[in-house]
Amino acid sequence: MDRLISTEPATGLELWSGPLGDAAVEVAVARAAWPAWAAQSVSYRIETLRRFANVVRAKADVFADLIARETGKPFWEAKTEVASVIAKVDISVNAYSERTPMRKMEGALGAKVAVRHKPHGVLAVLGPYNFPAHLPNGHIVPALLAGNAVVFKPSEKTPASGEFLVDCLHEAGVPDGVLRLLIGGVDEGKALAADPGIDGLLFTGSAGAGASLARQFAETPAKIIALELGGNNPIVAWDVQDIETAAVMIVQSAYLSAGQRCTACRRLIVEDGTEGPLLEAITRLIDRIIVDEPRADPQPFMGPVIDLIAADILQDRFLGLMMKGGKAIRRLDRAYEERPYLTPALIDMTDAKDRLDEELFGPVLQIIRVKDFDAAIDEANATRFGLAASLIGGTPEMYDRFWANIRSGVINWNRPTNGAPSNAPFGGIGLSGNHRPSAYYAADYCAYPVTSVEADIARATIGEGLRDPEGNR
């Protein structure tokens, strides 16, 4: 196959097709164009990217419609993604100024110590399908601001959204050679990651793919790698006073984007014997959730998952949970086999054997009942991942204990696990990433610091260890 085809999850109709690209060719073009872009002033690059924000703003509804059709997410949600693309520019400009400024300090003998930052060169960006514009944009904009060239390969499941994003950047004045679009699947992604012409890789995707890339890049320590991976995220609901509000936050955490968010809640941990009213409120909300196509009226809360393969895998995993002793409260049902629509699932895994520690990337929430708050913290930490965690309810003292003991890069109180702010760092530990938080801290891995000791006049002496010039010892 020499072409990539993208279909709409909601309808199965072909949305877009295009020829497969060549990673080596795209990297070579970017490398040739990079020096001129790096030589431009920061203010020039900032102005270019602000024009990009205006281009996207003018095409917001068209862009949102394309994202909704290609991912299956509701149109209202796709509009929030486009808004995030626009907002990313000013946030990144502020982050660049704060995280990578030029600083001068006093040194010895009247010298000055200067700290400046340089771009790496050519950075590869591999994007995911769940936020096909917002998440790769979160790497591309900071990378371009810092003076890098970029080769961007969107997910093979959402190439049309990736192409639209790149077209907007080119229209705003980012040179064609400085930002290259690589269309392709797994093979093209592997070729891009392995190309000797890249100076780093910025990746958002699964833990398995991230681990493979980490092993590969262990052989090339000169290249930067930033891994933004998934999570098996917990919510601990404890001494909840407002049951209805807590239920809303849990449903938002578990089922927004049909559960296809790296920050989605996968596990709900509750106090055994007191969970009844909360679970009743959650199931009432689940039963009201509209699952429909992106432009349906009324607008749905959830659309389909990305494709039939994803739906099949999720149904197989849900059956596996039941085989291990899970008790389904709401099943993961499929309205019709030919489309990947799934209903929100809720399953009690308290008495299950050998609970799996994996990211079920879809609308599946597992409940685990524990005896006390210490056990709740232990259960929340019973994962190799470490992306997001929330405490709903409790006291300030309990939240202090929760925050101090939870292993996670995002820790919230009385807020959902998802919807992380873009004006703060974002990332996880364990299988959730490699300690390079993105969002506001993306500036940190898009340029490297250079320390210089500088003096107007050369001064040097050697005070010890030299023979007397007259021959005396």
**228 is an active site residue:** yes
pLDDT at 129 over 90: yes
Topology of domain 233-413 in CATH is Aldehyde Dehydrogenase; Chain A, domain 2 (3.40.309)
**For range 289-306, the mean pLDDT:** 97
Per residue in 119-128, pLDDT tens?
999 999 999 9
Position 28 scores a pLDDT of 98
pLDDT at 26 over 70: yes
Do 342 and 334 touch, CB atoms closer than 8 A? yes
Per residue in 180-239, pLDDT tens?
999 999 999 999 999 999 999 999 999 999 999 999 999 999 999 999 999 999 999 999
Relative to beta strand 179-181, strand 149-153 is parallel
Per residue in 410-427, pLDDT tens?
999 999 999 888 899 999
pLDDT bracket for residue 472 (50, 70, 90):
low
The helix/strand/coil state of 369 is strand
Q: Which amino acid appears at position 405 of this protein?
A: N
Position 422 scores a pLDDT of 87
Do 251 and 265 touch, CB atoms closer than 8 A? no
Rounded CA gap, 226 and 202, in Å? 5
Query: Around Cβ 358, how many Cβ atoms within 10 Å?
Result: 16
β-strand partners of 347 = 328, 366
Topology of domain 3-229+433-454 in CATH is Aldehyde Dehydrogenase; Chain A, domain 1 (3.40.605)
67-71, 243-247, 352-356, 362-366: the lowest-pLDDT one: 352-356
Per residue in 229-286, pLDDT tens?
999 999 999 999 999 999 999 999 999 999 999 999 999 999 999 999 999 999 999 9
The pTM for the full model equals: 0.95
pLDDT at 1 over 70: no
Domain definitions of the chain by residue range: 3-229+433-454, 233-413
Strands in 179-181's sheet, in edge-to-edge order, are 179-181, 149-153, 122-126, 200-204, 224-228
For helices 134-145 and 42-58, what crossing angle results, to 10°?
A: 150
**338 is an active site residue:** no
pLDDT at 16 over 70: yes
Task: Kindly give, in sequence order, each residue whose CB lies less than 8 Å from that of residue 447, ignoring residues fewer than 6 positions away.
Answer: 100, 117, 118, 119, 120, 146, 147, 148
Q: What separation, in Å, do the N-terminal and C-terminal C-alpha atoms of the chain show? A: 82
pLDDT bracket for residue 92 (50, 70, 90):
very high
From 168, 262, 265, 446, active-site residue: 262
What is the overall mean pLDDT for the chain? Answer: 96
**For range 86-97, the mean pLDDT:** 97
- Among residues of the chain, what percentage have pLDDT more than 90? 91
- Among residues of the chain, what percentage have pLDDT more than 70? 99
* CA-to-CA separations, 446 to 85, 168, 327, 332, 439, in angstroms, rounded: 18, 21, 47, 41, 12
From 163, 228, 275, 293, active-site residue: 228
Position 120 scores a pLDDT of 98
pLDDT at 87 over 80: yes
Q: Which amino acid appears at position 122 of this protein?
A: V
Q: How is residue 436 written in tokens?
A: 């390079």
pLDDT at 317 over 80: yes
HSE toward the beta carbon, residue 145, CA cutoff 13 A: 30
Degrees (nearest 5) of the Cα angle 264, 266, 270?
Answer: 120
- How many residues in total does the chain contain? 473
Position 473 scores a pLDDT of 62
